[in-house]
């Protein structure tokens, strides 16, 4: 697949630490091709920005023509716009496109010194904002653009046409740094430990990383989480060169140290839960919709199962869950998870609860943890993975691994490579594979090393469910699986 082209509009840092230099390295490391469009040749040192030295309108316009003549641009990142004339040329160009655009509004250098004139702010507010997919201001820049720094300031910018805003918390204080994302519908915080040292060019890196992921067709919140992960990785590896700590550009290797926490509400930042653990390998993990299927699966030697009741009648759900817990008690070492109905699961004394991402908004996670129930969480994307890891559940499920017809899925099949990657990220946290898994696919899936495999229809819709159970248990046997259940295993 050809690399997507990212148009980078910004100033040249003569010391190679920020601006277009940082942008180019970011795009190239993250799988894009960088096309740099210079707005100005800055004069800056550790003492601050001395001069902007913008290009002439004609030179800038000619350069823009060169940048776009031979490439199909997939995304645009805008940094330093030194004057209103150049800002206007950029606005005119964007008006003719339908590209995802990330604007890092560099209205003053973080190192101090000269800033841009008020005319730039006027052009941004009046002409550029309607074309911006993501705006990434810090607090001072938000003040310049909206004349305030509260959440209403972001609403003002959204009202002017910005699709989403990521308010950076680099100028804050405290143990943690929490960037605030708001797109008019969804809001969340990306939280990381606040680093005790500053690094040049991090704002440029973050915006360029988002633009690259958007060029690669990632959804916005995915792009934001991955970009923040890339920023954290380079920050942690920063090295001293001259008077600076410089960002270290390298291919992104996702792990728990670099993934940000995702909090839906500010009051949740810093809040922790303590869910009991469960085995690293849960083995064969059917998802069934009736208590009758529980007994059938337990009799075959299956020990992990999820009851997913499709009812909004809480009283009926409580009755069925009570029956399920009573049936599970008749077998040794049963791990019975209840889908969605967390309060009924607590009241019945189930082994655990499984929640989808939507259910996390309503569930009382503290009550589930206090009751001593395990918690499993469904995930389908990096944003959802980061959110799940923030909660620290007993296990995390990834799906759909394969295409599935159990229900309409807005996600593409994850595949084996993603499954292997997520096992490396999760480490000791069990990972459950789910989605489109039958016996044939399970044989292939076994090679990934995953120890927990969930299926919805492979067993319950099988012509011979007992044979399917035997075949699956031969691949992921329980320590105490009855010999009779493996007699005909492949």
Lowest pLDDT segment from 20-29, 220-229, 472-481? 472-481
Residues facing residue 77 across a β-bridge: 8, 102
- Residues 174-209: pLDDT tens digits? 789 999 999 999 999 999 999 888 898 999 999 999
CB 355 within 8 A of CB 340: yes
At 56 the three-state DSSP class reads coil
- Report pTM: 0.93
CB 266 within 8 A of CB 178: yes
- Residues 366-387: pLDDT tens digits? 999 999 999 999 999 999 999 9
Please give the domain boundaries of the chain with CATH numbers for all domains: 5-268 (3.40.1190.20), 283-486 (3.20.20.70)
Exposed, middle or buried: residue 441 (CB in 10 Å: 0-12, 13-18, 19+)? middle
Residue 407 pLDDT exceeds 80? no
Task: Transcribe 272-323 into DSSP letters.
Answer: ---PPP--S--EEEEEESSHHHHHHHHHTT--EEEE------HHHHHHHHHH
- Residue 271's CB: how many other CB atoms inside 10 A? 12
* Sign of the dihedral through C-alpha 361, 269, 178, 420: negative
Rounded Cα–Cα distance for residues 342 and 307 (Å): 12
Q: Which residue has the tokens 């930042």?
A: 269
Q: Among candidates 402, 362, 354, 394, which has minimal Cα distance to 378?
A: 354
Rounded Cα–Cα distance for residues 77 and 65 (Å): 17
245: CB partners within 8 A, 6+ apart: 197, 198, 199, 200, 238, 239
At 383 the three-state DSSP class reads helix
Chain CA centroid to CA 105, Å: 24
Encoded tokens for 374: 């395990």
Rounded Cα–Cα distance for residues 84 and 120 (Å): 4
Encoded tokens for 162: 């910005």
The sheet carrying 101-103 orders its strands as: 33-41, 5-12, 73-78, 101-103, 134-135, 165-167, 176-182, 187-193, 261-263
List C-alpha distances in Å: 74 to 29, 64, 68, 92, 424. Answer: 16, 15, 11, 17, 31
pLDDT at 344: 98
The CA R_g of the chain, rounded to the nearest whole Å, is 26
- Residues 322-341: pLDDT tens digits? 999 999 999 999 999 999 99
- Residue 183's CB: how many other CB atoms inside 10 A? 18
- Residues 98-143: pLDDT tens digits? 999 999 998 864 544 556 778 999 999 999 999 999 999 999 899 9
317: CB partners within 8 A, 6+ apart: 309, 311, 341, 344
pLDDT at 114: 56
Encoded tokens for 299: 């009799």
């Amino acid at each position: 697949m050809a690399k997507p082209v990212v148009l980078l509009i910004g100033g040249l840092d003569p010391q190679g630490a920020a601006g277009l230099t940082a942008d180019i390295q970011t795009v190239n490391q993250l799988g894009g091709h960088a096309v740099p469009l210079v707005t100005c040749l800055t004069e800056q040192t550790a003492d601050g920005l001395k001069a902007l030295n913008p290009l002439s309108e004609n030179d800038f316009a000619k350069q823009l023509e060169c940048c776009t003549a031979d490439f199909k641009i997939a995304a645009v990142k805008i940094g330093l716009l030194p004057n209103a004339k150049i800002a206007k040329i950029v606005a005119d160009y964007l008006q003719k496109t339908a590209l995802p655009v990330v604007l890092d509004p560099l209205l003053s250098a973080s190192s101090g010194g000269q800033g841009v004139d008020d005319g730039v702010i006027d052009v941004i507010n009046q002409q550029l904002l309607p074309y911006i997919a993501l705006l990434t201001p810090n607090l001072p820049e938000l003040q310049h653009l909206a004349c305030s720094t509260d959440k209403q300031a972001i609403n003002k910018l959204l009202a002017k046409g910005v699709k989403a805003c990521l308010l950076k918390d680099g100028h804050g204080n405290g143990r943690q740094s929490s960037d605030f994302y708001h797109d008019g519908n969804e809001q969340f915080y990306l939280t990381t430990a606040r680093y005790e040292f500053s690094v040049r060019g991090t704002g440029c890196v973050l915006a360029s990383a988002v633009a690259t992921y958007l060029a690669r067709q990632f959804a916005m919140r995915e792009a934001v989480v991955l970009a923040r992960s890339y920023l954290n990785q380079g920050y942690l590896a920063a090295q001293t060169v001259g008077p600076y700590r410089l960002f270290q550009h390298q291919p992104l290797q996702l792990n728990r140290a670099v993934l940000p926490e995702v909090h839906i509400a500010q009051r949740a930042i810093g809040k922790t839960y303590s869910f009991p653990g469960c085995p690293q390998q849960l083995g064969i993990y059917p998802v069934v919709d009736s208590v009758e299927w529980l007994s059938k699966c337990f009799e075959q030697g299956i020990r992990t199962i999820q009851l997913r009741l499709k009812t909004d009648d809480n009283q009926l759900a409580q009755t069925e869950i009570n029956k399920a817990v009573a049936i599970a008690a008749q077998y040794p070492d049963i791990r019975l998870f209840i889908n969605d109905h967390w309060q009924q699961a607590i009241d019945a004394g189930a082994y655990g609860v499984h929640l989808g991402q939507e259910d996390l908004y309503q569930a009382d996670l503290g009550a589930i943890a206090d009751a001593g129930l395990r918690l499993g969480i469904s995930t389908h994307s990096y944003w959802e993975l980061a959110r799940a890891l923030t909660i620290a559940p007993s296990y995390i499920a990834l799906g759909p691994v394969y295409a599935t017809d159990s229900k309409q899925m807005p996600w593409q099949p994850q595949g084996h490579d993603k499954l292997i990657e997520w096992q490396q990220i999760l480490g000791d946290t069990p990972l459950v594979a789910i989605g489109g898994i039958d016996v044939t696919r399970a044989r292939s899936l076994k090679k990934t090393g995953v120890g927990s495999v969930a299926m919805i229809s492979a067993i319950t819709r099988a012509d011979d469910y007992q044979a399917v159970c035997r075949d699956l248990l031969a691949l992921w046997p329980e320590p105490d699986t009855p010999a009779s259940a493996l007699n005909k295993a492949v």
